[in-house]
Amino acid sequence: MMQLNTTILILGAVAFSVVGQLFLKSGAQHLAGAGRLDFLLAAARDVHVLAGLLAWAASTVCWLYVLRVAPLSRAYGLTSLTYVLIPVASVYLFGEQLRRLHGVGTVLIIIGVACLLYGD
């Protein structure tokens, strides 16, 4: 079983990754009508895009700490939680639809993560 601090850092990396993706999606929606160059310039100034990049950087820092102490083969599987949390958050925040088969896949991911956590 992984140490509590390591598990918290992994979950922190996952949480920052999820938040980052949600901010990037929000920022991209604000920039939907811009042309290529305008899009890049506006993205560099957009608060949501910048917050998404900052969250991604925080996720990377957490992950680097995890890699110092945890076996990659165990830790990396836990990052699959992003495949659960992002779609669920997208339904609530962006009104996206989840198809039934997507829901089945999400449940399978949760089962897989549980196997990783309790496999030892």
Local confidence pLDDT in tens for the 120 residues of the chain:
578 888 899 999 999 999 999 999 999 998 887 777 888 888 899 999 999 999 999 999 999 999 999 988 888 888 999 999 999 999 999 999 999 999 999 999 999 988 887 876
The single residue listed with the structure tokens 């850092």 is 9
pTM, two decimal places: 0.88
d(CA 33, CA 11): 35
- Residue 45 lies in domain: 4-118
- Of 85, 64, 87, which is closest to residue 75 (Cα–Cα)? 64
Q: How many domains does the chain have?
A: 1
Residue 71's CB: how many other CB atoms inside 10 A? 10
Q: In terms of C-beta density within 10 A (0-12 exposed, 13-18 middle, 19 or more buried), how is residue 55 classed?
A: buried
